[in-house]
Each structure stands twice: as C-alpha cells, then as structure tokens.
Structure 1
Amino acid sequence: MTRRPARFLPRRRQSSRPRRRLTALLLAIVLLPLVPATAQADDPPLPPPSAPAARSAVAAMQPGWNLGNTYDAIPDETSWGNPPVTRALLKKVKSQGFKSIRLPVTWGIHQGAAPDHRIDSAWMAKVRQVVEWALDEDLYVLLNMHHDSWMWVNNLSTDHDTVLARFSATWTQIAAEFRDEPSRLVFESINEPTFSGTSGDDENYRLLAELNRVFHRIVRESGGRNAARLLVLPTLYTNADQGRLDALATELTSLRDPMVATTIHFYGWWPFSVNIAGYTKFDTTSEQDLTSTFDRVYDAFVERGIPVVIGEYALLAYDHNRPGIIERGEVRKYFEFLGDYARRHKLTTMLWDAGQFLNRNTLQWRDPELFAQIKSSWTTRSGTASSDTVFLPKSSAVTSQVLTLNPHGTDFQGLRRGSRNLLRGKDYTVSGDQLTLTAAALTELAGDRTYGVGATLEARFSRGVPWRIDVITYDAPVLSSASGSTDGLSIPTRFRGDMLATMEARYDDGSNAGPASWTSYQQWDTAFTAYTGDSIKLTSDFFTSLKDDSRVTLTFHFWSGASATYHVIKTGGTVTGTTA
C-alpha cells in the first residue's frame, strides 16, 4: 500500500438537472465513434456506461474483504506476520457476511529473468489454491498485481521497454492461468499505480493509460472466460482527486469495453487517520472529506452507469498492535458513517485487513463491537453519541454528566447495563438530543472509585447496533522528570485512569517543534507514543528534529479534558525532561 493524504474539498452541490446529464450521456454514446481518439476538450469525454452484467457483478461483490499482508507480503506469505491461508479462513470470511475477497499478490519477487519473467510454479499454485477455495465458497475474487507497482512498474518512464515487457509477460501468464475460471474471478490491473522520474501528472496519466491498455488487450485476447471477464481499472495512486477521476474517464472512453469497473482507495481525512494536527475526532471536517470524495466518485462514474469498487478502506493508523492512536469511539463513528454513505452511493467497499481486524490464528474478530458496527453499516445506520466515555474525577464529588446523542434517523430507546435497563427520569433524562446521566446513577456505576472503567453502558436505538459508554474514574495524570538519549526518552507517567489523546510541542518563542513543523500537534507514532500504562515515550525522530539547547514545551492532552505541561532540552546526544 502507498498511503497519500486525501485533499480536502468542499461538499458537492447536488445537481437539479438529471435530465441534462442523461441527454449528455446519450449523446456521448451516440457520437463516441465519431470522435478521434486524440481529440482534446476542456472536459473529459463521458465514458459509455458499463454493461448491466458489470454493474450487477460489482453490486454482488458488496461487501468485500482484503486478504492483506499475505500474498502481497515480501518475500513470502508469512513474512509480515500472518499465518498461511487456510480454507477455514475463507469459510469464516464468508460466514461473516462478506461476498467477495480482494487478493493482493506481489508477483515480481517470484519471477525469473527476462525475457520470459517466468512466475514460479509453486507461487502460482498457492495463488490458484486460494482463488479456488474462495470461488468454492461462492465468493467473488478480485485478483491484482500489488507491490510490483512501486518495486519495478514505477520505473516505466525511465526504463519503458523493459518494464512494459515484464508487465506484459506477467499478465500474460496470469491471464493464461485463470482463463477458464468462473466469471466471479475479477482482474485488477495494478495496485496504487505510481511512477518515478516523470514530468508530472500529464505524463503519469499517459503511462497509466498505457499500462491499462496493455492489461486490457492481454486479458481479452487470452480467450476463454477472459474475453468477457470483469476488469477493474484504478485511478493514478487510486486517489479520488478530480483530475485522477477525469483521466480514468478518458481511459474508459478509449477502451469502449462495457465489462469494466473503476477503483479508488480511501483511508479517511489524513490528519484524523494518523492523529496529527489535533484531529483526534471524526468531526465535520473528516466527514466532509469523506462525503466530498464519495460524491466526486459517484458523479464521475456511478451516475454514468460505471460501477466503482473502494478496493481498500480503513484508517491508516488503526492497528491492534498500537492501541490508542485513534480513540475507539471515534473509530466506530468513522466506520458507521462510511458504510452508510458508501451504501447510499452504490459503492462496493472492501475492508483492508492486514490482520488488524480478523485474527487469522483464532478466526475471531479482535474487536467484536467494532466489526458489529462495520457490518451493521452495510444495511442501516446506527445511533452514536458525542463520546463513548464519561470521566468522573476521583478527587471530587460525582456530578451529573451530559452527552449529545446522534440518532442518525433512529429513535433512542434507552440505556442498559448488562441485562438491566436504567430508569428514565431516575438514572438519566433526555431533552432533545441531550442525554443526562444523573449524579446518583453515576455514583452507583462508579463503584469503589478505582481508577479505570467502573461500568459499561449501552445506549440503544431503534435500529443498528448499541453505542457503548464507559464510565471511568480518573484523576489528572502525573508526569515525572527523566533523562535519556536522542534515541528516545521514556517519561514516567501515572495515567490514573486517563488516556492520552495528543501532544503539542513548541519552542519558547512560540514556534512549532517536532518533525511536523507545520503544526504544534505532533503525529502519534512519529513523535510520541503511549502504549503502556506507565510512560509516554518520545521518539528518536522527535529529537532529531529539535534544535540543540533550545527548550521545548510539551502539552499532553488527555481524553478526560485534562492536560499536562512538560519541558525537554536536547544537548548533543542527551536529553532531559522536567515537569512544568
């Protein structure tokens, strides 16, 4: 995967002229044979719609799941931490409601020398086995060329003939191997295409169009079921900026093939997706980034009868090995919103799972509540709230707490703890969208006031999945002085029930400090981490970016709303940290 931040664009204005769009589409189809392939226009030509069979197939692939970090791993399927694929895994995926899998495969490291570039027979047999297992489970399979995109295909501009010959040889072998497989096997030309040494986007677009034409010709000419097999073509970088979409629309026009679909990837508003610049919540900015992206894709393709596969979606920093980068409730809000908006825009979604969602050793979901939220979003909306936590300071009396409900068109049904329903009017009240938990109820729920989660509630709505609310006892975290080297500094921290949200860093003159010099709010995992219950760690990258002998003031922000100030100074290879 090659991750790129999505560009923020304003919300699309809804069109009030569907008849004009339909007329333009019909004219484009009628006049298309009269337009030279080299014709230039201010706007890209409207591509002809895909065949009903293509649209039906893509719709039948919803929802999809990626077998990530396996056959795309380097050098072999277990190299990136996942176990060998089993038939039981695919049965599990099918049983959970998925209708398709995307099978990313890196071919280049399993190929011989030029001119044949012969794919290792044992590797091809492994890929074939997974394809057949999945087809036997009645799953669609989207088979692609994956990390080859940045390992050698990216050199197309500077080593054109060599790269094109290898690309052709690779797809010739794949097409021949699978030419007689059922139509539920779908081919994707290249993952996240990128090119080095080019003059800019215009050249990038030409190179990608050339690759897609070669891919298209090889597959179609290989015969068998490949003559009418559904083919999926990506935008440049699989990005959904308007220029990328327009360029792909032009490609589709030149191909004149009704059995094609398009694909992009989506990992959310980049600052939220990696926790930088203070974007710790799935707020209106993150929401608008998603709606703008999906609206552009819908307008460019779906509305013109061309199906779209969101070939990968997740959050860049979501990883079970690194908990806390993105707060759990905010993760749930993102997936709830994404699933619903994609469904209403007829976009087929394929969850990128490199092992962070489904544990492939136990075949259990690592976070069952999160998966339930994802699964529910395929068919309906769920209610949420402004937060999934209620913090009660241990050092002061318990008071009532207010959360804002986000029903999303559902009806709020009440609160439950385990098998017991809380009493409306006594334990909580509702006024409009304001849910108030009473002091008496919270006192009972907090129990012995031990730091941490004292009780978990469910806010229930008329449809969708419940919204979890943790009642947490805390006090403001306490940090201690420390010393170390520029390899990293561990700051002893008593979290006392609280959780770190983000960190700011500034020099005494007010300027930003840290690797991300454009913002005071540094990126989790790049500048700092907080994965253990006893410390906050500052990284070597953070100290490398600092000026010598200049004091840096750190402000740690916690999810309770508390904050803590800390000072660090780098002198040569040593660093010291002191409390404010």
Structure 2
Amino acid sequence: MSAYDVRRTRGRIGLVAGAVALMMTAGLMVAGNAQAAAGCQVAYTVSAQWQGGFTADVKVTNLGDRVDGWSLTWAFPSGQRVTQAWNATVTSAGAQHTAKNLSYNAAIGTNAAVSFGFNGSWSGGNTAPTSFALNGVTCTGSVGTPTPPPTTGPPSPTPTNSPSPSPSPGGDAMATVAAMQPGWGLGNTLDAIPDETAWGNPLVTQALLRQIRSQGYNSIRIPVTWTDHTGPAPSYTIDPVWLNRVRQVVDWSLAEGLYVMINLHHDSWQWLNGYLADRTTVMNRYTALWTQLATTFRGHSSKLTFESINEPQFAGTSGEAQGDELLHELNLAFVRLVRASGGNNATRLLVLPTLYTTSDQARLDALTTTLDQLRDPNIAATVHFYGWWPFSVNIAGGIRYDATVEKDLVDGFDRVHDTFVARGIPVIIGEWGLLSYDYTRPGIIQRGELLKFFEAVGHHARTRKLTTILWDAGSFLNRNTLQWRDQGLYQLMKASWTTRSATAATDQLYLPRTGTIASRALTLNLNGVSFQGLRQGSTNLVAGTDYTVSGNTLTLTAAALTRLAGNRAPGVNATLEAHFSAGVPWQISVISYDPPTQAAATGTTSSFAVPTQFRGDQLATMEARYADGSNAGPANWTSYKEFWTHFQPDYTANTILLKPEFFAEVNDGPVVLTFHFWSGARLTYRLTRSGGTVTGSVG
C-alpha cells in the first residue's frame, strides 16, 4: 500500500488508546563465538493499536560481550505479521519473524542498547511474543551459557511498563555539527500543507535519500508540519499513520548514513504564533507534540537531531524583544522536556533558532541568554540565510553579486561565528539559498551572478566552521529523475565544500551581429587560485593567439571571437571554459545579438504585454517612473520593480508581460518604463493608464 493510500484510508480506522509492554530476558551470543559470555534484555512495547493494526517498539540491551552484527528472532502467538519496519530489516516465515541490523546499528557494546520498531497487522488477537533470541540463542537474562529458544512459549506474562531506553554517551556537539556538513533540505514535502505531495513534490523514496548521500551530503533536514495531523486538545494525538510515515523517512535517511534533523515547521505561523494571546493552549499543544516525538524517537540513533521550531514568530508583540522572551520560554520547555524523556534524548543534539531564524545581533544575543541559562553541552544554534534581499528577489536594481551582497553575507556569517562558534557552540545554517531562485521562473537571478553567490556562501561558511543545509523544494534536484537540474551549479557547490573556485565579472560576452568584432577583456575573480587555460569543448584555445592573461584580466582576441561567433545567429554561438588550478571551470557564453526593439500595444490592467523582439538579448530588470520622475508602481521606494512578480519576459512569445500586481499600484496617467538588458542595451517605453485600459508606445 502506498503512503497515499495509507493516509486516504486512515479516516476509516479507529485508534484504540492504550499500549502493552513486555520486559523479557533473552540470550545473546556473538555469531561464530559459542564460548562468549552472553545475556540480554528485550523490551517489547505496543505503543499504538487500532482495528487490524498496531505499532510496536523493540529495545534490546546487551548484557554480554560486544556484538558486531545481530539477528533477533521471535514467533507471534496470535498470527500477527510485520508490515513495515524501521531501524531493522524484518522478514517472516509463518509465525517466525527475524529482525536484522542495518549498517548504522550493527554493533552493540556491553550494556549498550539498540532499538527498532514496526507496524503490524492482527485479526483474532494481538498477544505479545513470549520469547526472543539473538544470533540464534537465548538465555535466562544473566551472563552465562545460553540455551536454545523454544518454538512457542508459555502464556504471555502480565504486561508491565517499559523502562526508558538507556541514554547514549554524551557527544561533542561541535564535532557532530561538523560531521553534518554539508546538508540538504527536503523542502515542500513533509512540511507541505495539508499533505506530502500537496505542493507538487512526489512521495519521498529510499532512492531519493540514497542519491542525496551518494552526492556527498552528510545530513538531511526533514521539515514536518503537524497541524493537520493532530487530534484535538488536550492530548493533541498525532495521527499514527502520519507519524509512522515521518518515522519511515527518518529511518530510511539514517539507514543511508545521513544525520537527520526534524522539527515543527509551518506550525510556527499556523498556531504557535498565537502564544502571546493564549500561553496555556499553545504551550500545551507544543509540549504535547514534542512529548510524543521525544517518546517515539528516544531510542533512535544519536545521528537524529531535533529542532524546536522553524522560523519562530509571534503575533501581537510590542516588539522583537518581547518575541525573544516568548521564544526563550518555548526553547527552555523544549530542551527540558526532551532531556527528561530519557533514552538517547538525554544527550541528543538539540537545535535552537533565533527569533525569525535571523542573524541580527540582537536576536543572537537573545538566544545566547537562553543557552547560558540551559548550560547544556549538546545544543546547536540555527539561523537561515537567503542573501541580500534585493539581490535575492531581483528588485531595486539588485541584479549582480556585488560588494553590498558580499558584505551582507560576510557580516552575517561573522556575527554567528563570533557569537556562538568562537565560544564552542556550533551553528547550523538550517536553510540557505536565494529566495526567488526557481527553475520554473528562469531569469530572475542571472546564472553567472547566482554561481558567484553560491561559491561565496560555501567559502565563507567553511572558513567559519558553519554547517549549511541547502533548502531544496525541487529547484535543485529533480525528484522524479534524481538528476540535478543544473549540473554545473551542483559541481560548484560540491567544490566549495573543500576549496574555492574562480569566477569572473560575467559569464556572458555579447557581440554585435553586424560589423567588426573587437577584442574583449574580462576581469577574473581568482579567489586564490591561478588561471590554467581556456577551452571550447575538448579543444584548447591558444594562449597569445586566441587570448592573453595579465594579472586577473583575460582578453579574448578579435580573431578568436570572430571565429567563435560563427554565422553570428542571435543567441549563444559558443561556450568556453576557463580552467584554474582548483575548483570548477568558469563557463563563458559568446552571444550574438542585435539591439532589441519594441512596438505599440493596447490592453488592460489585467492583461498587458509589451511586444519585444529580443534578438538574442535577455532582460535584466525594469524601471517605472511617473512623468515627474517619481517612482511608479509597487515598492515605490525604488524605481526598479520586482522581476517576475511585477513583470516577466516571454522569449517564445516575444513579449514582456506587465503583471496585474504592477498595475494594482499604478496611478492613472502616463508612466515611463525603462527596460535594461544584459547586453547593456536600454529601451524606453511609455504607458498611459486610464482606469482599466492601458496603451503603450515606443520612446
């Protein structure tokens, strides 16, 4: 049954409250070493049961010598069957079931424990198994000579409460967070509202997670929105089908060797933001959810981490200082609750955000107050980073990765390093990217400028010992083909994990379609590496004949550019690669173009397009002003409007669309538009709005 089918049928299954736990003693023996002292304890707990189905957790504590590779066997007395397992592979032969370790939990040291769980089916009854065997033998629960287990056992003993799993040894938080670098974020999936595929991504598969690991990622952030999957007050019980789906994805990720982070995600603005107005209700709901999650995952590997809340925000506060105080209360409650739940949660890495998950110094200082009060060595701080906002969305002329964008990046990373990392508190950049970068909206961020930003983030994070988790809602890795949508971008990100890559002032050389072609100079950003050569495909261009290099200036000769332009058809005529001593090559597109042209048009405020012959060129941005020179349209603090939100090029239709969102804030009368193109060309276009009617003319 698919995960979709499970969710669809969940409403027809009534959950039976209550659980049964069984503490047993069973023999433990290292396979192939019959003389080894043996002994173990098994705790079998039915944590949820409904008509025809149940969830069980199994914990094995080793009382004897270390085991490297284990197999647990048992027989169900009532004909139950395991239908889905996590933290182990479970097979069956009739009533007999066998659970085998996964790669990450094969070893069980003396007095250490391992846990796994499963969903099962039942019909006539759900009596607990009475005997377990590890590696083929059982024992009385003391270290000694084991005896073979019986095929069936005596009647089930009276259920008893299962003790909390033994805590794992405390870890080094800095080392753990360092081992999580680099990370990948499973965006718009389990956090989607109301369900996993609601925002366009397919169901998560083991193949996806295996691909992520194979691409060099060491951790995965799995954001989860719980709002539509919890029952009413006071228990706020999580739908077991949803919880098991989350646990399945977590277990698949752990099985691939990934560190994992889960959280409460869009709950932050769905109900948690009402904390100021109703502290009791919100705190009860918050603690109820984390109590259930802490209980569910307390036996899981220490490679699983918990993040208290995503991008916390609060309605009705007097200011950010009061928001800091509210977040302080929630973060304290979260840490104390998880720690008290026992098991591996006693030392599990916990991740605490700042208000809005921002890196503003005041917010960092507020989180420092929380950390100082907790004095917990296994906590990391988290912030998000989406770059200088005008560049991140292409507004206010923010079309280039310039000194302003660089300063915003460096200042933010310096603040979190100096506030936390320098004091031994690890930092996770839990989400990063550019806000408007989206493969479905090409051109918002020009590719060369995007590459410079991504290369710089990798470098500045690495040198400040920050772990980064790329937010990927489907724009980077194609979830259907498991291929990168832009392989070159991925290669640059991968290189940035260990070294720097050189970039250049641009990755586009625009050449006129007619007339003589002149030589062109291009400034290289060497970033500490050295230039090695220039290639077109597998052909090396000739130094001195095709190009020269002086310091950080690469000059292509007129003869080489004339040859590369070929028949000078509009658009990209050739692609070059500049190679360096480290990092990835920098691509340079040789583009032929004629100056773009536009024509008169009429339309409405809900549908207006400027006829535009691009002729090999591409649009960079648009300005809008009234006749008196004041800024027109939305975001009137700037003349430059937001790419795609207010205007959008359509290169196939040869138009530039002006969106209804643009006209929603344009006054009646004349408006002067200035279109900026990547070649450097500019066009002036005049609009006149009269109510819902719009006319446009050239010049």
TM (norm. structure 2) is 0.75
1:515 is matched with 634
Once the two structures are superposed, the pairs formed by residues 133-532 of structure 1 within 5 Å of their partners are: 133-532=252-651
Structure 1 window deviating more from structure 2 (221-230 vs 395-404): it is 395-404
1:434, distance to aligned residue in structure 2 (A): 1.2
1:34 is matched with none
Give per-residue Cα distances to partners, 1:51-108, cap 9 Å, x unaligned: 8611110000000000000000011111111000000000000000000000000001
Matched residue type, 2:666: L
Matched residue type, 2:667: K
1:33 is matched with none
Instruction: Provide the secondary structure at the position in 2 that maps to 1:519.
Output: coil
Give per-residue Cα distances to partners, 1:475-513, cap 9 Å, x unaligned: 111112111111131112111111100001111100000
1:37 is matched with none
Instruction: Provide the secondary structure at the position in 2 that maps to 1:530.
Output: strand
2:214 is matched with 95
Distance 1:530 1:318 in 2: 16
Distance 2:296 2:387 in 1: 36
Distance 1:525 1:319 in 2: 11
Give per-residue Cα distances to partners, 1:284-330, cap 9 Å, x unaligned: 11000000000000000000000000000000010000010010000
Flag structure 2 segments of 5+ consecutive residues without an equivalent: 1-169
1:531, distance to aligned residue in structure 2 (A): 4.2
2:665 is matched with 545
Distance 1:526 1:322 in 2: 10
Distance 1:273 1:263 in 2: 20
Instruction: Provide the secondary structure at the position in 2 that maps to 1:551.
Output: strand
The question of whether the paired residues in 2 share the 8 Å contact of 1:358 and 1:364 is answered with: yes
The question of whether the paired residues in 2 share the 8 Å contact of 1:323 and 1:531 is answered with: no
Give per-residue Cα distances to partners, 1:450-474, cap 9 Å, x unaligned: 0000000000000000000000000
Distance 1:489 1:343 in 2: 47
1:104 is matched with 223
Once the two structures are superposed, the pairs formed by residues 31-180 of structure 1 within 5 Å of their partners are: 53-180=172-299
Distance 2:575 2:568 in 1: 14
The question of whether the paired residues in 1 share the 8 Å contact of 2:598 and 2:610 is answered with: yes
Distance 1:268 1:231 in 2: 26
Asked if 1:536 corresponds to 2:656, the answer is: yes
Distance 1:193 1:504 in 2: 35
Matched residue type, 1:241: D
Distance 1:492 1:370 in 2: 33
Distance 1:65 1:140 in 2: 10
1:40 is matched with none
Task: Give the count of matched residue pairs.
Answer: 529
The question of whether the paired residues in 2 share the 8 Å contact of 1:322 and 1:531 is answered with: no
Give per-residue Cα distances to partners, 1:223-251, cap 9 Å, x unaligned: 11111100000000000000000000000
The question of whether the paired residues in 1 share the 8 Å contact of 2:614 and 2:651 is answered with: no
Instruction: Provide the secondary structure at the position in 2 that maps to 1:352.
Output: strand
1:576, distance to aligned residue in structure 2 (A): 1.1
Structure 1 window deviating more from structure 2 (197-206 vs 92-101): it is 197-206
Distance 1:335 1:374 in 2: 7
Distance 1:111 1:532 in 2: 47
2:681 is matched with 562
Distance 2:369 2:607 in 1: 50
CA RMSD of aligned residues (A): 0.9
Flag structure 1 segments of 5+ consecutive residues without an equivalent: 1-50
The question of whether the paired residues in 2 share the 8 Å contact of 1:428 and 1:435 is answered with: yes
2:3 is matched with none
Instruction: Provide the secondary structure at the position in 1 that maps to 2:687.
Output: strand
Distance 1:143 1:203 in 2: 26
The question of whether the paired residues in 2 share the 8 Å contact of 1:324 and 1:531 is answered with: no
Distance 2:520 2:484 in 1: 32
Distance 1:541 1:186 in 2: 42
Distance 2:635 2:688 in 1: 18
Distance 1:273 1:201 in 2: 24
The question of whether the paired residues in 2 share the 8 Å contact of 1:488 and 1:543 is answered with: no
The question of whether the paired residues in 1 share the 8 Å contact of 2:454 and 2:493 is answered with: yes
The question of whether the paired residues in 1 share the 8 Å contact of 2:171 and 2:347 is answered with: no
Give per-residue Cα distances to partners, 1:183-241, cap 9 Å, x unaligned: 00000000000000111122101100011011111111111111110000000000000
The question of whether the paired residues in 2 share the 8 Å contact of 1:192 and 1:237 is answered with: yes
Distance 2:266 2:298 in 1: 23
Matched residue type, 1:537: L
Post-superposition, which runs of at least 4 consecutive aligned residues in structure 1 deviate over 4 A?
none
The question of whether the paired residues in 1 share the 8 Å contact of 2:428 and 2:469 is answered with: yes
Distance 2:483 2:447 in 1: 18
1:433, distance to aligned residue in structure 2 (A): 1.3
Give per-residue Cα distances to partners, 1:258-304, cap 9 Å, x unaligned: 11000000000111000111110000110000000000000000000
The question of whether the paired residues in 2 share the 8 Å contact of 1:103 and 1:142 is answered with: yes
Instruction: Provide the secondary structure at the position in 1 that maps to 2:452.
Output: helix
Distance 1:162 1:457 in 2: 61
The question of whether the paired residues in 2 share the 8 Å contact of 1:277 and 1:523 is answered with: yes
Instruction: Provide the secondary structure at the position in 2 that maps to 1:343.
Output: helix
1:430, distance to aligned residue in structure 2 (A): 1.2
1:525, distance to aligned residue in structure 2 (A): 2.0
Distance 1:408 1:283 in 2: 15
Structure that is richer in helix per residue = 1
The question of whether the paired residues in 1 share the 8 Å contact of 2:184 and 2:471 is answered with: yes
Distance 2:615 2:690 in 1: 32
Over the matched positions of the two proteins, sequence identity in percent amounts to 61
* Greater relative CO (CA pairs within 8 A, separation 6+): 1
Distance 1:427 1:261 in 2: 52
